[in-house]
Structure 1
């Protein structure tokens, strides 16, 4: 039994004082209207209407039930209208997660344009070095790197592949020179992300294959922001994905070193919990991002 529809039929029968008129207004047969009322009474375990050939009257239970129904139905109709509006027009709060490197390097440039296009959407943005569970944290969309682990049940869209690059500030290069071969890195101060397997060695692809180059870490941090700041300050050479430092490289604040050698790649993915019944705000944002990154196999940040 559709309990909600049964309540609507009951209210309409009482309003019209007739099964026949209620059936006509709701485009139902008399038999169907009668069935709804009978099923509702059976469900509630009480008679709601006294029926005769000439008139209908509410029982005491029917009167009490009608008073509740008259409050409930408008609330439900209003809720349905609000949801229907949200599915058509992007509105409400859109919660986004990103790891710091991508968020700091890219979202600041992208989100103002989205906000201008969809002014009724409020952006709630969380940048974190830790991987968030989108469902558990109640997030709509997340940006992850291929170095992170996340729920395999997510809908995942690859938006780009970033080159891992070595770079330093012009002031550092002027003072210490630029390494000419991977082995020269052993003589330089290195600024390192706090992955244990990177703390003492950097992996470089050479003609001889992948080599582990011993390094001296002058600074180790789990913060992409600090690593960028210290690199800009001339403290050493850092190894970061291009999406976190692309603007600094383009404007000359940082310079690539050992650009002829490959350090690896990091894919960037956009993920969200479900592809079914997406709200307008989520759908509009997914479409916006995919339009900005039409070639996911390329590096759009260099």
Structure 2
């Protein structure tokens, strides 16, 4: 039950009100007291109590509660809009002061494609949290289409030929070369395509986000666009790689995903004389305004990493054979069909 207004004002100091506002904002974002409690790692009772305090302090109902959902009232929408700005300003002030006297602290949510997160981002996060041990980083899956604000993401890694949403601020990090691969067993049975056009007769494993229309693009003069198809489609790059390893067909991957398999010979680079379209690796965020100090430090850390590109990010204008050699193995066969 909500506390009387006067009582709430006596019992809730300014710091408590900021916490109430933070919890209310999370409930509004999640549309649920239970989900908000999970995101904040507190009990549902704590969430309920803080929202009740805020409503009593404001003298208005901020949320409409039913058994199935939670919705903002008109007053709640006003508090949410102004409250986000207030929390951002407070975090900015807190960050500036803390940064002047000690290491930054707090929580950061980062979105990433699953494969890049597993192969590379987690290594970077480990280094970042060693440098800033008071910062907690949560890494979550982002398919490249998520709304950063709705998902409460401070930053997100987006890997694609081009960014679809121009409403975000993007910082370019690296290029991500791609390579066409297949298992030796598949190539032994079905042969080696000699040109990109010959992919049309092969069973190709298609990524439905990166190549939704089944178009694989190759650099050249003129560039080539080949429509491919096959028995397996997925939005999971690792699933398609596993399909290729099992001999199901030919797949197209960022080089960072398959460099180990190329070196081991469990996958072979197909069409070594042709260069697939490169992808851009960008870090995106909603705004530079009032960016918390901890997030700014992570952004600078990622930019610092990108200034010394790993081998897999080097230009592929000389083809997959050179990339494989840089990594210590060939992984490339040049036999004709």
Query: Partners in 1 of 2:217 and 2:15 — Cα distance?
Result: 65
Aligned partners of 2:18, 2:121: CA distance in 1, in Å? 38
1:122 matches 2:133: no
Match of 1:60 in 2: none
CA shift in 2, pair 1:216/1:293, >3 Å: same
1:180 Cα deviation after fit: 2.5
Distance of 1:77 and 1:135 partners within structure 2: 19
Counterpart-to-counterpart distance in 2, 1:117 and 1:252: 37
> Is 1:287 aligned to residue 300 of structure 2?
yes
Calculate the aligned-residue CA RMSD, in Å: 3.6
Q: Specify which of 252, 265, 290 is matched with residue 239 of structure 1.
A: 252
Q: Is 1:182 the equivalent of 2:196?
A: yes
- Give the C-alpha shift of residue 242 in structure 1: 2.6
Q: Which residue of 1 aligns with 2:313?
A: 300
Equivalences for residues 74-93 of structure 1 within 5 A? 84-85=97-98, 88-93=102-107
The aligned counterpart of 2:279 is 266
1:213 deviation in Å? Answer: 3.6
Aligned length: 234
Closer/same/farther in 2, CA of residues 73 and 101 from structure 1, 3 Å limit:
closer
- Closer, same or farther: CA 275–166 of 1 in aligned 2, 3 Å: same
Alignment-derived partner of residue 8 in structure 1: none
Shift of residue 70, structure 1, vs aligned partner = 11
Instruction: Report what 1:135 is aligned to.
Output: 149
Give how far 1:124 is off: 1.1
Q: Are the counterparts in 1 of residues 219 and 276 from structure 2 also a CA contact under 8 Å?
A: yes
Gaps of 5+ in 2: 1-5, 20-89, 315-322, 324-337
Hey, what's the Cα distance between the residues in 1 that align with 2:175 and 2:123? 18
2:123 maps to 1:109: yes
Query: Alignment partner of 2:150: what SS?
Result: helix
Q: Given the superposition, is the C-alpha separation of residues 77 and 247 from structure 1 closer, same or farther in structure 2, using an over 3 Å criterion?
A: same
Q: Which has the higher strand share?
A: 1
Preserved CA contact (<8 Å) 2:174 2:282 = yes
In 2, the alpha carbon distance for the partners of 1:251 and 1:288 equals 32
Separation (CA, whole Å) in 2 of partners of 1:195 and 1:124: 24
Deviation at 1:192, TM superposition (A): 0.8
- Cα deviation for residue 253 of structure 1 reads 3.8
Measure how far apart 1:168 and its partner are.
1.5
- Rg: which structure is higher? 1
Q: Kindly state the Cα deviation for residue 197 of structure 1 after the two structures are TM-superposed.
A: 6.5
Question: Are residue 220 (structure 1) and residue 233 (structure 2) matched?
Answer: yes
Distance (whole Å) between structure 2 residues aligned to residue 259 and residue 135 of structure 1: 42
1:171-210 matches, cutoff 5 A: 171-194=185-208, 201-206=215-220, 209-210=222-223
TM-superposition CA deviations, 1:15-56 (whole Å, max 9, x none): xxxxxxxxxxxxxxxxxxxxxxxxxxxxxxxxxxxxxxxxxx
TM-score (norm 2): 0.58
Relative contact order higher in (CA < 8 Å, ≥ 6 apart): 1
Q: Which runs of 5+ in 1 are unaligned?
A: 1-64
Which whole-Å CA distance do the structure 1 matches of 2:154 and 2:172 have between them?
17
